[in-house]
Amino acid sequence: MDAKVMNQILEIAFEKRVSDVHFEVDNPPFFRGRGQLIRSKLPKLKPEDTEFIAKTILEANKRQLDPSLREQDASYSLPNGGRFRVSIFRQKGVIGIVMRVIPPHIGSFEELNLPVVLSEIVKAPNGLILVTGPTGNGKSTTLASMLRYLNENYSYNIITIEDPIEFLFTSSKSCIIQREVGIDTEGFGAALKAALRMDPDVIMVGEMRDPETIDACIKAAETGHLVFSTLHTQSASSTINRLIGNFPPEVQEVMRQRLADMLVAIVSLRLVKDKSGENIIPVVEVMRSTTTIQACIRDGRLDEIEKHIENGVAQYGMQTLDQHLIQLCQQKIIAVDEAKRITRSMDLERKLMFTS
């Protein structure tokens, strides 16, 4: 393996629009396309091959491969402009790499089939907007689309704190500053404190990983900024539960109050195949922080939130995951079996019959 061969493999991945590339010892490179893992016909990789790939990526990030490395995130760019988010790790004592392809174009809400209500949500003057979902289900792409909308329509100072930087922005109406953890700053907590001294209007934090970052995000919202971030949760209620559960019991009531006051919306995503099997589309739960939902958060009545989302379709543009799945099934965009694959509900078919 040399740099030329490595880049050729990545260029093929970028051109074929696969979502991920896997480099693992004793296997040829794998590509994930349309949700399926595809084994390439290239030679099997040796330990020195994956070590070379890891070294090349880290050197491009001005880092060295530490012999004690267990796992590390980074980014990588091809000469032709293709970009990747990289996860480097050890398995059975040798190095493995998974590289996520970052699309070159930041899609609009319409291009990404995202609900039009997002254009209303991002107009909030301040507060906390969260994008959630399992790994690889479009959180980063959705966040980038939100920032694109702000960049094209508002004169804001936007600061992103990412690990690593994924989508590259060019300032339009807004001024955009992008900082990468490990290169430009020590961590999310330190970068958030610094961001408040950088005259921000909008702050985007790649992920709320710990109580310190969660608290700093809420503080930034409380001081009049619009804050975006992500969590690996699957619904609005589970997101709120996860946030509050990060704190000791004696402060959870205060955190519920703060979160209720500052939360603007939670957008939860899952990706599904359309009926053709050729395209991947988002299924989106949208919760907006109405007075009723704020009361549920303050009182800890999280089990009631889904019902309030269901009832907020017409007035607030909210929707549950099941409501969106039913809509996509009725429009014959996705198959019922695909909808049943991702829903938490045991009675999706009954709901489909009731609404048809």
Give the angle 264-181-241 at the CA atoms, nearest 5°.
35
pLDDT of the residue at 355: 55
Whether 214 contacts 208, CB under 8 Å: yes
Residue numbers of the chain with a pLDDT score lower than 70: 353-356
Beta-strand runs (E) in the chain: 20-23, 30-33, 36-39, 71-77, 83-91, 94-102, 127-132, 157-162, 175-180, 202-205, 226-231, 263-273, 280-288
What's the CATH number for 3-102? 3.30.450.90
Distance, CA of 229 to CA of 143 (rounded, Å): 8
Q: Give the domain ranges of the chain.
A: 3-102, 118-355
The yes-or-no answer to whether 3-102 and 118-355 have a common fold is no
Whether 29 contacts 5, CB under 8 Å: no
Distance, CA of 324 to CA of 329 (rounded, Å): 9
Predicted TM-score (pTM) of the model is: 0.91
- Six token digits for residue 251: 């402060």
Q: If you write DSSP's letter for every residue of 342-354 in order, what string do you get?
A: H-S-S-HHHHHHH
Distance, CA of 147 to CA of 131 (rounded, Å): 12
Q: If you write DSSP's letter for every residue of 9-21 in order, what string do you get?
A: HHHHHHHTT-SEE
Distance, CA of 58 to CA of 67 (rounded, Å): 13
- Classify domain 118-355 at the CATH topology level: Rossmann fold (3.40.50)
Size (the chain), residues: 356
In sequence order, what are the residues at sequence separation of 6 or more whose Cβ sits closer than 8 angstroms to the Cβ of residue 253? Answer: none
Q: Residue 142, SS3?
A: helix
How many other CB atoms sit within 10 Å of the CB of residue 37? Answer: 11
Radius of gyration for the chain, computed over Cα atoms and rounded to the nearest angstrom: 21
Distance, CA of 356 to CA of 351 (rounded, Å): 8
In sign, the C-alpha dihedral spanning 102, 106, 110, 115 is positive
